[in-house]
A and B are shown apart, each in its own frame.
Chain A
Amino acid sequence: MSRLLPHPLLTLLLVLVWCLLINSLSLGTVVFGALLGLLIPAATAAYWPDRPRIPRPLRLVSYILVVLWDILVANVQVAMIVLFKPNADMKSNWVTIPLDLKSPEAISILAGTITLTPGTVSADLSDDGVALLVHALDAPDPEATGNQIKDRYERRLKEIFE
Protein backbone atom coordinates (compact mmCIF):
# COMPACT_ATOMS: atom_id res chain seq x y z
CA MET A 1 0.00 0.00 0.00
CA SER A 2 2.61 2.53 1.02
CA ARG A 3 4.81 1.53 -1.91
CA LEU A 4 1.97 1.93 -4.40
CA LEU A 5 0.75 5.21 -2.89
CA PRO A 6 3.64 6.94 -1.12
CA HIS A 7 1.74 10.23 -0.89
CA PRO A 8 -2.03 9.71 -1.08
CA LEU A 9 -2.80 13.42 -0.70
CA LEU A 10 -0.36 14.28 -3.47
CA THR A 11 -2.07 11.75 -5.76
CA LEU A 12 -5.43 13.38 -5.10
CA LEU A 13 -3.97 16.84 -5.67
CA LEU A 14 -2.39 15.78 -8.97
CA VAL A 15 -5.69 14.39 -10.28
CA LEU A 16 -7.45 17.61 -9.28
CA VAL A 17 -4.80 19.86 -10.86
CA TRP A 18 -4.83 17.81 -14.08
CA CYS A 19 -8.62 18.10 -14.38
CA LEU A 20 -8.41 21.84 -13.76
CA LEU A 21 -5.61 22.24 -16.33
CA ILE A 22 -7.58 20.38 -19.00
CA ASN A 23 -10.71 22.15 -17.75
CA SER A 24 -12.97 19.14 -18.10
CA LEU A 25 -14.25 16.29 -15.98
CA SER A 26 -14.61 13.62 -18.64
CA LEU A 27 -13.67 10.00 -17.94
CA GLY A 28 -10.53 10.16 -20.08
CA THR A 29 -9.19 13.18 -18.21
CA VAL A 30 -9.78 11.60 -14.81
CA VAL A 31 -8.19 8.31 -15.85
CA PHE A 32 -5.12 10.00 -17.30
CA GLY A 33 -4.91 12.24 -14.23
CA ALA A 34 -5.08 9.17 -11.99
CA LEU A 35 -2.29 7.60 -14.05
CA LEU A 36 -0.12 10.70 -13.54
CA GLY A 37 -1.11 10.75 -9.87
CA LEU A 38 0.16 7.20 -9.49
CA LEU A 39 3.34 7.57 -11.55
CA ILE A 40 4.67 10.94 -10.38
CA PRO A 41 4.68 10.22 -6.61
CA ALA A 42 6.20 6.79 -7.24
CA ALA A 43 8.94 8.25 -9.45
CA THR A 44 9.79 11.08 -7.05
CA ALA A 45 9.31 9.19 -3.77
CA ALA A 46 13.06 8.91 -3.25
CA TYR A 47 13.40 12.70 -3.06
CA TRP A 48 10.95 13.26 -0.21
CA PRO A 49 10.94 10.37 2.22
CA ASP A 50 9.17 12.25 5.04
CA ARG A 51 5.45 12.74 4.98
CA PRO A 52 4.12 15.75 6.91
CA ARG A 53 1.99 14.48 9.78
CA ILE A 54 -1.35 16.23 10.29
CA PRO A 55 -3.17 14.67 13.25
CA ARG A 56 -6.31 16.80 12.92
CA PRO A 57 -6.84 17.65 9.24
CA LEU A 58 -10.45 18.75 9.77
CA ARG A 59 -9.35 21.71 11.88
CA LEU A 60 -7.16 22.80 8.98
CA VAL A 61 -10.35 23.63 7.06
CA SER A 62 -11.65 25.92 9.80
CA TYR A 63 -8.18 27.46 10.03
CA ILE A 64 -8.21 28.25 6.29
CA LEU A 65 -11.65 29.84 6.62
CA VAL A 66 -10.46 32.02 9.53
CA VAL A 67 -7.41 33.10 7.52
CA LEU A 68 -9.45 33.90 4.39
CA TRP A 69 -11.82 36.07 6.44
CA ASP A 70 -8.85 37.85 8.06
CA ILE A 71 -7.30 38.49 4.64
CA LEU A 72 -10.52 40.18 3.48
CA VAL A 73 -10.94 42.35 6.59
CA ALA A 74 -7.29 43.32 6.91
CA ASN A 75 -6.98 44.13 3.20
CA VAL A 76 -9.54 46.89 3.62
CA GLN A 77 -7.70 48.18 6.69
CA VAL A 78 -4.36 48.27 4.86
CA ALA A 79 -5.98 49.98 1.86
CA MET A 80 -7.27 52.69 4.20
CA ILE A 81 -3.83 53.06 5.81
CA VAL A 82 -2.10 53.27 2.43
CA LEU A 83 -4.56 55.77 0.98
CA PHE A 84 -5.27 58.11 3.88
CA LYS A 85 -2.45 57.94 6.43
CA PRO A 86 0.61 60.13 5.85
CA ASN A 87 3.96 58.38 6.04
CA ALA A 88 5.05 60.18 9.21
CA ASP A 89 2.03 58.90 11.17
CA MET A 90 2.69 55.24 10.42
CA LYS A 91 4.37 53.44 13.27
CA SER A 92 6.07 50.63 11.38
CA ASN A 93 7.87 48.29 13.72
CA TRP A 94 9.75 45.04 13.96
CA VAL A 95 7.99 42.37 16.00
CA THR A 96 9.80 39.33 17.37
CA ILE A 97 7.54 36.32 17.84
CA PRO A 98 8.95 33.53 20.01
CA LEU A 99 7.78 30.23 18.52
CA ASP A 100 6.14 27.35 20.39
CA LEU A 101 5.78 25.34 17.18
CA LYS A 102 8.39 22.75 16.35
CA SER A 103 7.52 21.11 13.03
CA PRO A 104 8.89 22.91 9.94
CA GLU A 105 5.57 22.57 8.07
CA ALA A 106 3.69 24.34 10.85
CA ILE A 107 6.28 27.13 11.03
CA SER A 108 6.16 27.73 7.28
CA ILE A 109 2.36 27.79 7.32
CA LEU A 110 2.47 30.30 10.18
CA ALA A 111 4.97 32.49 8.28
CA GLY A 112 2.83 32.31 5.14
CA THR A 113 -0.28 33.22 7.10
CA ILE A 114 1.44 36.22 8.67
CA THR A 115 2.53 37.46 5.26
CA LEU A 116 -0.86 36.89 3.61
CA THR A 117 -2.76 38.79 6.30
CA PRO A 118 -2.07 42.40 5.40
CA GLY A 119 -0.21 44.70 7.74
CA THR A 120 2.42 42.14 8.68
CA VAL A 121 5.22 40.47 6.70
CA SER A 122 7.33 37.66 8.10
CA ALA A 123 10.90 38.54 7.23
CA ASP A 124 13.26 36.06 8.84
CA LEU A 125 13.71 33.15 11.19
CA SER A 126 16.32 33.10 13.91
CA ASP A 127 19.25 30.80 13.32
CA ASP A 128 18.11 28.15 15.80
CA GLY A 129 14.49 28.36 14.65
CA VAL A 130 12.93 29.57 17.90
CA ALA A 131 11.86 33.07 16.88
CA LEU A 132 10.20 34.67 13.87
CA LEU A 133 11.02 38.21 12.75
CA VAL A 134 7.91 40.06 11.56
CA HIS A 135 7.61 43.55 10.12
CA ALA A 136 4.37 45.41 10.90
CA LEU A 137 3.20 48.31 8.72
CA ASP A 138 1.29 50.21 11.41
CA ALA A 139 1.72 48.83 14.92
CA PRO A 140 1.98 51.39 17.73
CA ASP A 141 2.30 48.49 20.19
CA PRO A 142 4.51 45.69 18.82
CA GLU A 143 3.94 43.47 21.87
CA ALA A 144 0.18 43.49 21.36
CA THR A 145 0.54 42.62 17.66
CA GLY A 146 2.82 39.73 18.51
CA ASN A 147 0.45 38.38 21.16
CA GLN A 148 -2.48 38.69 18.78
CA ILE A 149 -0.68 36.61 16.14
CA LYS A 150 0.33 34.01 18.72
CA ASP A 151 -3.19 33.74 20.06
CA ARG A 152 -5.05 33.76 16.76
CA TYR A 153 -2.87 31.63 14.48
CA GLU A 154 -0.14 29.85 16.37
CA ARG A 155 -2.51 28.36 18.96
CA ARG A 156 -4.70 26.88 16.21
CA LEU A 157 -1.70 25.54 14.28
CA LYS A 158 -0.42 23.93 17.45
CA GLU A 159 -3.75 22.16 17.81
CA ILE A 160 -3.60 20.96 14.21
CA PHE A 161 0.00 19.78 14.05
CA GLU A 162 0.91 18.74 17.59
Chain B
Amino acid sequence: MILDLIIVAALLIGGFFTLVGSIGLLKLDSPMKRLHAPTKAATLGVGSLLMASIVNAWAHHDGSLNEVLIMAFLFITAPITANFIAKVNIHRRDTRDPLPQPPNDDIWATLDTPPDRSDG
Protein backbone atom coordinates (compact mmCIF):
# COMPACT_ATOMS: atom_id res chain seq x y z
CA MET B 1 0.00 0.00 0.00
CA ILE B 2 2.75 2.43 1.00
CA LEU B 3 4.74 1.27 -2.03
CA ASP B 4 1.71 2.00 -4.21
CA LEU B 5 1.57 5.51 -2.80
CA ILE B 6 5.27 5.99 -3.60
CA ILE B 7 4.67 4.81 -7.18
CA VAL B 8 1.74 7.17 -7.60
CA ALA B 9 3.71 10.12 -6.17
CA ALA B 10 6.73 9.38 -8.38
CA LEU B 11 4.52 9.13 -11.47
CA LEU B 12 2.77 12.43 -10.69
CA ILE B 13 6.03 14.26 -9.94
CA GLY B 14 7.68 12.81 -13.06
CA GLY B 15 4.82 13.78 -15.35
CA PHE B 16 4.63 17.27 -13.83
CA PHE B 17 8.32 18.08 -14.17
CA THR B 18 8.58 16.67 -17.70
CA LEU B 19 5.67 18.90 -18.70
CA VAL B 20 7.20 21.95 -16.96
CA GLY B 21 10.43 21.39 -18.88
CA SER B 22 8.63 21.53 -22.22
CA ILE B 23 6.47 24.48 -21.16
CA GLY B 24 9.68 26.34 -20.33
CA LEU B 25 11.14 25.35 -23.69
CA LEU B 26 8.15 26.95 -25.39
CA LYS B 27 7.59 29.95 -23.12
CA LEU B 28 11.02 31.42 -22.43
CA ASP B 29 12.14 34.05 -24.91
CA SER B 30 15.88 33.85 -25.47
CA PRO B 31 18.01 30.86 -26.55
CA MET B 32 20.15 30.81 -23.40
CA LYS B 33 17.08 31.01 -21.13
CA ARG B 34 15.44 28.13 -22.99
CA LEU B 35 18.44 25.98 -22.18
CA HIS B 36 17.53 26.05 -18.49
CA ALA B 37 14.09 24.49 -18.43
CA PRO B 38 14.36 21.19 -20.34
CA THR B 39 17.85 20.09 -19.32
CA LYS B 40 16.96 20.01 -15.63
CA ALA B 41 13.25 19.56 -15.34
CA ALA B 42 13.33 16.72 -17.83
CA THR B 43 16.20 15.02 -16.01
CA LEU B 44 14.35 15.07 -12.70
CA GLY B 45 11.10 14.22 -14.50
CA VAL B 46 12.42 11.13 -16.26
CA GLY B 47 14.45 10.23 -13.14
CA SER B 48 11.22 10.22 -11.17
CA LEU B 49 9.46 8.08 -13.78
CA LEU B 50 12.36 5.58 -13.63
CA MET B 51 12.03 5.61 -9.83
CA ALA B 52 8.36 4.66 -10.24
CA SER B 53 9.41 1.84 -12.57
CA ILE B 54 11.93 0.47 -10.03
CA VAL B 55 9.49 0.58 -7.11
CA ASN B 56 6.78 -0.97 -9.29
CA ALA B 57 9.09 -3.81 -10.30
CA TRP B 58 9.94 -4.58 -6.65
CA ALA B 59 6.36 -4.26 -5.41
CA HIS B 60 4.47 -6.20 -8.08
CA HIS B 61 7.00 -8.18 -10.10
CA ASP B 62 10.38 -9.89 -9.76
CA GLY B 63 12.24 -6.72 -8.98
CA SER B 64 14.91 -5.07 -11.06
CA LEU B 65 17.47 -2.35 -10.70
CA ASN B 66 18.65 -1.78 -14.25
CA GLU B 67 16.71 1.48 -14.54
CA VAL B 68 19.48 2.88 -12.34
CA LEU B 69 21.75 2.61 -15.41
CA ILE B 70 19.52 4.86 -17.51
CA MET B 71 19.22 7.31 -14.62
CA ALA B 72 22.99 7.48 -14.13
CA PHE B 73 23.52 7.84 -17.87
CA LEU B 74 21.04 10.72 -18.11
CA PHE B 75 22.56 12.51 -15.13
CA ILE B 76 26.06 12.20 -16.56
CA THR B 77 25.14 13.26 -20.10
CA ALA B 78 22.73 16.13 -19.29
CA PRO B 79 25.48 18.65 -18.41
CA ILE B 80 27.46 17.67 -21.51
CA THR B 81 24.56 18.23 -23.91
CA ALA B 82 23.67 21.51 -22.17
CA ASN B 83 27.27 22.65 -22.48
CA PHE B 84 27.41 21.75 -26.16
CA ILE B 85 24.19 23.63 -26.93
CA ALA B 86 25.45 26.67 -24.98
CA LYS B 87 28.62 26.52 -27.07
CA VAL B 88 26.51 26.42 -30.25
CA ASN B 89 24.61 29.51 -29.10
CA ILE B 90 27.83 31.36 -28.28
CA HIS B 91 29.48 30.28 -31.51
CA ARG B 92 26.60 31.53 -33.65
CA ARG B 93 26.25 34.73 -31.58
CA ASP B 94 22.66 33.77 -30.75
CA THR B 95 22.88 34.92 -27.13
CA ARG B 96 20.82 38.00 -26.37
CA ASP B 97 23.02 39.50 -23.63
CA PRO B 98 26.60 40.29 -24.63
CA LEU B 99 29.23 38.04 -23.05
CA PRO B 100 31.27 39.45 -20.17
CA GLN B 101 35.01 39.80 -20.60
CA PRO B 102 36.99 37.01 -18.94
CA PRO B 103 39.75 38.07 -16.50
CA ASN B 104 43.36 38.53 -17.69
CA ASP B 105 42.25 40.07 -21.04
CA ASP B 106 41.69 36.55 -22.28
CA ILE B 107 39.05 35.07 -24.58
CA TRP B 108 36.37 32.41 -24.02
CA ALA B 109 37.46 29.09 -25.46
CA THR B 110 34.56 28.73 -27.92
CA LEU B 111 35.32 32.10 -29.56
CA ASP B 112 39.00 31.34 -29.94
CA THR B 113 39.53 30.56 -33.61
CA PRO B 114 42.04 27.77 -34.19
CA PRO B 115 45.09 28.59 -36.29
CA ASP B 116 44.77 27.76 -39.98
CA ARG B 117 45.62 24.20 -40.67
CA SER B 118 47.37 23.55 -43.92
CA ASP B 119 45.32 20.80 -45.48
CA GLY B 120 47.68 18.26 -46.87
Contact = CB atoms under 8 A, between A and B. Distances in A.
Judge A-B direct contact (beta carbons within 8 Å): yes
A94 interface: yes
A126 B107 CA distance: 6
Given A75-B40, A75-B44, A90-B33, A115 B83 contact: yes
A87 B86 contact: no
A127 B27 contact: no
Interface string B63-79: 01110110000011011
A125 B97 contact: no
Contacts of B32: 92, 121, 123, 135
B34 to A, nearest CB: 10
Interface residues of A, number: 39
A3 to B, nearest CB: 29
Interface stretch (A16-24, A38-46, A52-60, A149-157): A16-24
A79 B41 contact: yes
A11 to B, nearest CB: 17
Say whether chain B's binding surface is mostly helix, strand, loop, or mixed.
helix
B66 A124 contact: no
* Secondary structure type dominating chain A contacts: mixed
Classify chain B's interface size. Answer: 35 or more
A55 B84 CA distance: 30
Given A23-B64, A83-B23, A124-B110, A116 B100 contact: no
A133 B103 contact: no
A117 B78 CA distance: 11
B107 A119 contact: no
30 contacts: A21-B66, A23-B64, A23-B66, A78-B36, A79-B17, A79-B20, A82-B36, A90-B33, A93-B97, A98-B103, A112-B80, A115-B78, A115-B83, A116-B40, A116-B75, A118-B41, A121-B36, A121-B39, A121-B83, A122-B79, A124-B90, A125-B108, A126-B102, A126-B106, A126-B108, A126-B109, A127-B108, A127-B109, A133-B108, A135-B35
